[in-house]
Structure 1
Amino acid sequence: MNDWINCFVIFFAVIDPVGTLPVFIAVTAGHAEWKKRRIAYLAVLIATALLLFFLVAGQFLLEAMGVPLSAFEVAGGTVLFLFALTMIFGDSKPEKEVEFVREGHETAVFPLAVPSIASPGAMLAAVVLTDNHRFNVMHQLKAASAMLAVLLIVLALILMAKWIYRFIGPAGASIVSRVMGLILASVATTNILLGIQQFFSI
């Protein structure tokens, strides 16, 4: 159970369901309610397919290219850490991705499915948490179910986006995103340390 909770917390931090709300609201501004629901389902479906691909085939692709998972963990952890710093000290996730929408990229694919839901951090987490050399099949299934649970939360939240965002406001969404950034920085540091440890233990 602790393994599942740990995977859930990591995926919740890197996907950041609350931070997706302002992005969804901006993307769907002016659309009819039925079209908003269609965009929500499409975005989550695309993000789920992409993350499942990385969960199943991500490690095989790395090994086929001769890239050890330890190197991917260090590189990905470094990128995640820098990304987390921008969430904490710079523009938060909602502020940054809503800016994409203002530039005209108003589709379910970008920026809603990618990078808002299926973020680089989520792709990295899908690979790292299902490492064939470290985890058995049961743990990998737990990681997959935790990821799907977070994606269901994302779908539920964006379907209720209008009421939730009205309640927490832009300031609330920004605060949640910065807290997620702090958690993400901790996860990134752990990935870097584990990658270094694995590399020198080979």
Structure 2
Amino acid sequence: MIDYVSVFIFFFAVIDPVGTIPVFIAVTSRFDEKVKRKIALKAVLVATGVLLFFIIAGEVILTAIEIPLPAFEIAGGIILFMFAITMIFGDSKPDEEIGMVRNDSETAIFPLAIPSLASPGAMLAAVLLTKNSTFSILEQVQTAGVMISVLAIAFIFMLAASSIHRFIGNSGSSIISRVMGMILAAVATNSVLSGVKIYFEL
């Protein structure tokens, strides 16, 4: 039997449903309410699929190709940092990224599903909390259930984000997006440093 509280807190921290709100506001400000709901649902479904994949096959794949988990954490941190930079300096985004955000389907996948919800930290947590050598199949199923509950909370928060957007407006969402970009950059840097430290301790 897993410790539901600690697993929930762990996933809540790495998935960060609250932190997803300003990201959702920033990338969906040009869409109407119906499309926003569609984007939120698709983002959660895609993120759920990605994280369930890592629960089922993540450890097997990393072991098979001989990639240590710290290296995965470093790579994830670098990707998250690059996304944080685009949040901070929105005007300097490449044209292809701007075009991607204008498409509701692509927006649901990037940046909402990956890396906002299914972040590198969440992928890593999915692997670490379901290690075959430590946890039984039942415990892994329980962990997956907790993870899905956190993603459901993120979905509810994104639906409520529309009301928040009406209150703070485009300027407010832009400010929040850039502040969140700074926070994400710090989290990404910490992920890289942590991965480097663990890698050299192996």
Deviations 1:18-74 (A, max 9, x none): 221122223222322111111111111111111111111111212332x2xxx6332
Hey, what's the Cα distance between the residues in 2 that align with 1:152 and 1:92? 28
* CA pair 9-191 structure 1, distance change in 2 beyond 3 A: farther
Aligned-pair identity in percent equals 39
Matches within 5 A, 1:49-60: 49-60=49-60
Matches within 5 A, 1:166-181: 166=167, 174=179, 178=183
Which blocks of at least 5 consecutive residues in structure 2 are unaligned?
none
Other structure's SS at 1:47 match: helix
**Counterpart residue type for residue 103 of structure 1:** I
Comparing 24-33 and 125-134, the one that deviates more: 24-33
Which residue matches 2:69?
Answer: 73
* CA pair 130-93 structure 1, distance change in 2 beyond 3 A: farther
The question of whether the paired residues in 1 share the 8 Å contact of 2:2 and 2:142 is answered with: no
Q: 1:9 and 2:4 equivalent?
A: no
**Counterpart residue type for residue 10 of structure 1:** F
The question of whether the paired residues in 2 share the 8 Å contact of 1:129 and 1:143 is answered with: yes
The question of whether the paired residues in 2 share the 8 Å contact of 1:97 and 1:116 is answered with: no
Other structure's SS at 1:110 match: helix
* CA pair 164-142 structure 1, distance change in 2 beyond 3 A: farther
Other structure's SS at 1:111 match: helix
Hey, what's the Cα distance between the residues in 1 that align with 2:126 and 2:56? 8
Hey, what's the Cα distance between the residues in 2 that align with 1:143 and 1:97? 36
The question of whether the paired residues in 2 share the 8 Å contact of 1:92 and 1:178 is answered with: no
Cα drift, residue 172 of structure 1: 6.8
TM-score when normalising by structure 1: 0.70
CA-based RMSD: 3.9
Which residue matches 1:42?
Answer: 42
Hey, what's the Cα distance between the residues in 2 that align with 1:26 and 1:119? 18
Hey, what's the Cα distance between the residues in 2 that align with 1:94 and 1:161? 18
Hey, what's the Cα distance between the residues in 1 that align with 2:72 and 2:164? 32
**Counterpart residue type for residue 155 of structure 2:** L
The question of whether the paired residues in 1 share the 8 Å contact of 2:21 and 2:161 is answered with: yes
Task: Determine which of 103, 106, 113 is the counterpart of 2:98.
Answer: 103
Hey, what's the Cα distance between the residues in 1 that align with 2:151 and 2:90? 18
**Counterpart residue type for residue 161 of structure 1:** A
Hey, what's the Cα distance between the residues in 1 that align with 2:43 and 2:149? 16
Which residue matches 2:29?
Answer: 29
Q: 1:147 and 2:142 equivalent?
A: no
Q: How many residues align?
A: 190
Hey, what's the Cα distance between the residues in 2 that align with 1:157 and 1:96? 25
**Counterpart residue type for residue 47 of structure 1:** A
